[in-house]
Structure 1
Amino acid sequence: MHADHSLPASSRSALRTFCVSGMGTALEFYDFIIYGTAAALVFPQVFFPQMDHLTATLVAFSAFGAGFFARPLGGLVFGHFGDRIGRQKVLVATLLLMGLSTFLIGCLPTHASIGVAAPILLVLLRLVQGFAAGGEWGGAALFGIESAPPGRRGLWGSFTSMGIGVGGIFGAAVFAIVSAAFDDNLVDFAWRIPFWLGGTLVLIGLYARLKAPAAVAAPAVKPTRAPLAEALRQRPRQLLLCTGIAFGYCTIAYIGSTFFLTYATQAGYGSTDALMFDLTLSIAIVFAAPLFGHLSDRLGRRTVMAFGAVAMALGLFAFFELVAMQHFGMALFAYSLTGLLMGATQGPIPAFLGEQFPRSMRYSGISASYQIGAALGGGTASSIATAILILTNHNPLGVALYGAGALALVAICSLMLRETSQLSMAQIDEEPVGGIFAEGKLLRH
């Protein structure tokens, strides 16, 4: 008990909230990072040995994308039950499913052992991962913003975005260590170690979530029988615009987390260098996400989101030019800058999307819009970017234009949504249909 008093109550509450919303998402993104890394470095030989390397990489990324197409279904199912029976039970279920599927990927036999059944099982487990992830992000984001003190929803919501960076750091670090320590055996056996580790680390997030109920008050609003149907009826415009933001954001996020790795290796950098670049990108995001989440509390969500999207679009063109110089220091700077700019949109997104819906339909609304956008944008981003690189004879300008187009969508949709940073959660929850979102008035605390 004495240890509890070593931190102010607000700091203890923030740390507890981060452990629930941030660490769970960190484990989710760790799963995706290690899969994306394995898809670029290992899976072409392990699961698709009959193809040439670049084509096999494209197929491996397509299997990666398969998990994204299960995410909308997971978002609909877990979002429904999150609104109906509460956030905590759903967050425990999603974490268990993700951890189990990650561990089992590490146990899969190879194509050499069981033939075509190996990649089929890989895709099936990616579908389970995607289904669980569909309910994970929305619930984790809502835990942060619904636990936040007044005027801190952007910052506390960014804990989920920080978790993405933490997962990226851990995933890149584990794969870098395993790659360096077992270089000769990476394809044969060592690639399994990060998947086994991710499956066991789920116990940490599980403990935090089982201890979480005291941190969040019981819902004040009785949920409807069909929360998503209510969201479609009452907030169709918000659902569409939030889906557009998620599409653009997830497109650039997964270009950054998976395609950038392939591009660096194709540009002549070693696999260890490429993993160091990914690690640098994730570290920059961990610092940038709470900074811009906090700024969105001060300056407004729309202003920060639009600025971040435009700055990231311009930075994308500079990124490819710097990496193409084949200078390790310049490439490291390019990844650092890109991570900083990605955080400008990544930080405010949880609060901005969650604030578009009242509590009775919030889990369903944020999960459906975000996961549909993630499936359409993130699920295809790596494959499309790789295909563009092939079709343009390895000229990255086409990929930069593709990413800039996605970011333009983020900026446009953000500016078309209502500014919500100055609304209290009570005002958002109690707002009648056709209220401030239709009238264009901004209620304040």
Structure 2
Amino acid sequence: MSLYEKVVNKEEKIAVIGLGYVGMPIAVAFAKKVNVIGFDLNTQKIEQYNNGIDPTNEVGNEAIRQTTVEFTADATKLQEAKFHIVAVPTPVNADKTPDLSPVEGVSVTIGRNLTKGSIVVYESTVYPGVTEDICIPILEKESGLKCGVDFKVGYSPERINPGDKVHRLENITKIVSGMDKESLEEISKVYELVVEVGVHRASSIKVAEAAKVVENSQRDINIAFMNELAMVFDRMGIDTKDVIEAMNTKWNALKFYPGLVGGHCIGVDPYYFVYEAERLGYHSQIILSGRKINDGMGKFVADAIIKKLILANKVVRQSKVAILGITFKENCPDIRNSKVVDIIKELNEYGVEPIVVDPQAESNDAYNEYGVELVDLNEVRNVDCLVFAVGHDEFKSLNWGQIDEMFVDCDNSEKVIVDVKSILDRVEMDKKGYSYWRL
């Protein structure tokens, strides 16, 4: 009997290691079909899950309460599983080189609890070669087992989009790969249990690893192009959104928009690709240029804020600025690699200490990660400048009266609004006479 059949018959278990925005939804999805162990080193997170709380908002509290996933921080429980799915983060260091310590650490943990006949599938984003050249040797060393004989390995890059309620695990084609034909087939069948639209069988692990970093690098480059256009159009006095709307009337327009590029994927993955390319003697021409542009957008927005304050006859150091949103994207509590923080830091350089509002983010996360104390939206009063940094629904639903009462009592021409996400109506802004700027 194959491992897939044993899993389906609930004779063997699946273990999902790393229960964040990616791992937790995977664990919950598989638990509807088979027996699942959900492992994470973060005991506080495990406690929340066991209490029916979903801090990620990916599946919701009700789904967590109803799931049969066995949430645990006890690594020895991994010995009860035969199919392991690794979904730990892969960030970058301060010098933009890959930080593989999470994936190396989890490989040690799995290796120490690996049993014969197991399959280990990595979902964490890495550059081509990491799974076979770095992870497998660790698994072998810690387990004393031989890869290809005692256990098999595969790679299936995560494609979950945090906060996206349309494109979910079930309806996004899953790339899968295995070290040989047998493991590829087993891994494919297991994922087909939960991925309704099916899987794409990659020809090798390296191909699957490359596909992941390339698909995010492609998006990064396209957004960088739009960001560069936005900076040029700003100098020309042309509204970027108007240009994009006109351009998008053509059937083959790509419909990308300028913005802050943060998060755990698009703002990170290109550096993994560049790192390996440079190690092999090739210096990136396009990808690094795109990264430089996107990493500089926080400063560009901050400079725009300062200019608008000056033009509105404000004393910059005495100005009260409120920033709406700190997460890396709308309607999502994820603050990892948020580029809004770059705006805050740049404003600090001018002596401005902005107040920050985000109803989606966890206050403790914002403070622990960035030293930012979040305030309630209702507390925003007497400001000189409002910065719509993230397009949360809570901000999109604000009416003109609510927006106006946040400002200090003065002429509308002295009320500065910076709209990073272009969520407000420019025509209305002009009619009301606000000092308005959008990316």
Instruction: Please classify the TM superposition score into its range, dividing by the shorter chain length.
Output: under 0.3
More helix by share: 1
More strand by share: 2
TM-score (norm 1): 0.26
Higher Rg: 2
